[in-house]
């Protein structure tokens, strides 16, 4: 991996991490296009630069994180299912599920669900309540949906947004809770991966990680702002169709 690769992957990570289109799927696709081998460092790089994207959410939603202890309780409840699944299935996931076939199928199924759900919610009444007042049961249901995203191609954002809407949240509420829940989830995933990866980074590799994280921060910040406006105006249908097209592309060229 060179610095150009690190910048391109940082851009892809930043743009796709909080959109319901699977950042992992895009990283695998772009890595194949760039001819980057999936060695231990590259896999860790792809996970570690998520920290840059996380900081974009911390900056954008700093006020929300500082406003209510009750919100933290809901985030902890929602985080628990994914932590459990990730802890017990970490090795299996990294060994058997990081494949183009798995990503393709997950992209297409998730895309179909998004399209159907978006059509059904167009005429529904938007609920009015603060996320802090959401029930613990709803928080746990969203967390359970998020736990499915350990499968590459599912998309953590898609899983939590779909789980949120099925739980009675509006589109905007589902997106915002997805963003907030990303912080503990992605911090834990990145930290756990670094602990479990038996490699020693060189100075150059540390610099590559820093470049990727910085670029992902900038593009995640911009992507979240654009995503909110896009969904409020057009809904999730576009992202569903995009996932289906991308999944078919994977099947045609990488399986």
| pTM metric for this prediction | 0.88
Residue 27 neighbours by CB distance under 10 Å: 25
Calpha distance 129→86 (Å, rounded)? 31
Give the model's pLDDT for residue 43: 77
The first and second tokens of residue 111, run together, are 């895309």
How many domains does the structure of the chain reveal? 1
At 198, phi and psi to the nearest 5? -85, 60
Give the model's pLDDT for residue 63: 87
The yes-or-no verdict on residue 133 having pLDDT over 90 is no
Domain that holds residue 241: 3-253
pLDDT band at 205 (very low <50, low <70, confident <90, very high): confident
Give the model's pLDDT for residue 57: 95
pLDDT band at 219 (very low <50, low <70, confident <90, very high): very high
Give the model's pLDDT for residue 125: 61
The first and second tokens of residue 164, run together, are 């949120």
Query: pLDDT of 73-85, one tens digit each?
Result: 999 999 999 999 9
Q: At what angle do helices 100-121 and 156-166 cross, to 10 degrees?
A: 30
Question: Comparing C-alpha atoms, which of 109, 165, 126 is closest to residue 142?
Answer: 165
Give the model's pLDDT for residue 126: 62
């Amino acid at each position: 991996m060179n610095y150009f690769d690190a910048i391109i992957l940082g851009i892809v990570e930043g743009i796709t991490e909080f959109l319901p289109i699977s950042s992992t799927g895009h990283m695998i696709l772009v890595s194949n296009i760039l001819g980057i081998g999936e060695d231990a460092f590259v896999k860790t790089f792809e996970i570690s630069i998520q920290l840059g994207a996380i900081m974009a959410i911390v900056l954008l939603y700093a006020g929300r994180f500082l406003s209510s202890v009750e919100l933290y309780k809901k985030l902890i409840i929602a985080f628990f299912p994914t932590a459990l699944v990730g802890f017990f299935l970490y090795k299996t996931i990294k060994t058997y599920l990081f494949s183009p076939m798995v990503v393709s199928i997950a992209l297409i199924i998730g895309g179909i669900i998004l399209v159907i759900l978006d059509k059904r919610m167009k005429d529904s009444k938007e609920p009015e309540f603060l996320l802090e007042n959401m029930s613990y049961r709803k928080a746990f249901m969203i967390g359970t949906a998020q736990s499915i995203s350990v499968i590459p191609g599912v998309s953590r954002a898609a899983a939590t947004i779909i789980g949120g809407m099925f739980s009675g949240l509006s589109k905007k509420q589902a997106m915002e809770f997805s963003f907030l829940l990303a912080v503990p989830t992605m911090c834990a995933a990145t930290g756990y991966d670094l602990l479990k990866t038996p490699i020693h980074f060189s100075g150059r590799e540390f610099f590559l990680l820093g470049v990727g994280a910085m670029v992902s921060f900038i593009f995640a910040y911009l992507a979240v702002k654009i995503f909110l406006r896009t969904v409020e105006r057009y809904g999730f249908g576009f992202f569903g169709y995009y996932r289906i097209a991308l999944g078919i592309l994977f099947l045609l060229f990488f399986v």
